Each structure stands twice: as C-alpha cells, then as structure tokens.
C-alpha cells in the first residue's frame, strides 16, 4: 500500500462512510478510482468516466458529486458517503427500500448512483431548492410539489441504460413521501412533549 515519496504522490486520509482511510495516491487519481481500485469500495460504478452518466455519484458533505470528475486529493477533509454507507446495519435506507419494493432497477449497474442521487434530491427538495421545471421559484413559495416532472428533472444527471425510469421515479416519490411522514411524526412528537412540559 505504501508508496515511495514523490512529487506526484501525496499521503491523504479519506473520510468515507464515517471511517478514515489513509492512503498514498497519485495526484491524478480520481476519487472513483481510489474508491474502486485502492479501497475495494466497488459499489460506486464506473460508466462513462467523463461526468456524463451519473453511475459514479457519491455524496460529498451531503451534496451530489460525480466521483469520476473529483480528484481523490481534493476529497480529503470532506465527508464522503457511498452506497456502502447508506444502510444502517441490516436496515436499508428508505430510498434503497423503495427501489427494492418498486423494482427501480433492472441490471442494477446505475442503481448505486441513482440511489445516492435520490437521497440528495429528496433533501434538496425538502430544503426548498427549486429545479429547472419549478414554476414558482420565490423562496416564500416553499418546496414545489415533488411531481414526476420534478423528479425526472432533478434526477436527469443519472442515466439508466435499461430504461427503468418509470420505476425509479416511483421509488423516489415513495421515499420522499416516507421522509415527509417521518418528519411530520417527529414534529408532532416534539409538539406533544413541549405541550406536556408546559402544562
């Protein structure tokens, strides 16, 4: 693993899925190659290797990024989340569960990228970020309804050669609804606790 010191190599530590991974990398190594070839985290897929298909999507500090266009050295200090970090033990992430329940895949090659992207899409939407198809982009308008058009636009960076788009859109919609319900449950529990404390 250790590589002789060189002006083209650096010793870095990547923070991936909550774990620290020290490694020495050529400065030209992409995050995608570091994940797959150096760290054996092969859940992140290589499709085009030029930023066009989304198969290599990971989260950097919670935001979507295509790992094939990110240098590993530039990812040091960032919180990297890959598909391997989505589940909590045996408990799948709600987006993973929705893809499973609604057949949001066929061959599965694009699926890790689709899921990472969908996780961020749902958070971006909940935070009120507009998309290119949002009618009312005023901040006070709040999040637009997460229609199929909204989901298709927001997920448009992730291609699926099997054409499983119909099920993917349904899975994202299901996972977003699950997130909303769970946020409402948390809110109502907090309100009840506040009321009981005040009484």
Name the residues that contact ligand FES, by CB under 6 A: 46-49, 51-56, 66, 68, 105-111, 160-162, 164
Alpha carbons 189 and 110: distance in angstroms, whole number? 38
Contact 56, 70 (CB under 8 A): no
Angle CA 59–12–26, to nearest 5: 95
């Amino acid at each position: 693993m250790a590589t002789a010191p060189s002006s083209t190599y650096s010793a870095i530590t990547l923070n991936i899925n909550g774990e620290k991974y020290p490694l020495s990398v050529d400065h030209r190594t992409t995050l995608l190659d570091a994940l797959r070839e150096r760290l054996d985290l092969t859940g992140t897929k290589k499709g085009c290797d030029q930023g066009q298909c989304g198969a290599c999507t990971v989260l950097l500090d919670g935001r979507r990024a295509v790992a094939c266009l990110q240098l590993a050295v530039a990812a040091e200090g960032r919180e990297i989340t890959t598909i391997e970090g989505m589940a909590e033990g045996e408990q799948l992430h709600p987006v993973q569960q929705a893809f499973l329940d609604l057949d949001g895949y066929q061959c599965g090659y694009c699926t890790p990228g689709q899921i990472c992207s969908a996780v961020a899409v749902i958070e971006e939407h909940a935070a009120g970020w507009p998309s290119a198809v949002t009618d009312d982009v005023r901040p006070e308008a709040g999040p637009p309804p997460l229609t199929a058009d909204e989901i298709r636009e927001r997920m448009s960076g992730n291609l699926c050669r099997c054409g499983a788009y119909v099920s993917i859109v349904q899975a994202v919609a299901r996972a977003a609804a699950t997130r909303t319900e769970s946020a409402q449950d948390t809110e109502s529990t907090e309100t009840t606790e506040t009321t009981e404390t005040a009484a």
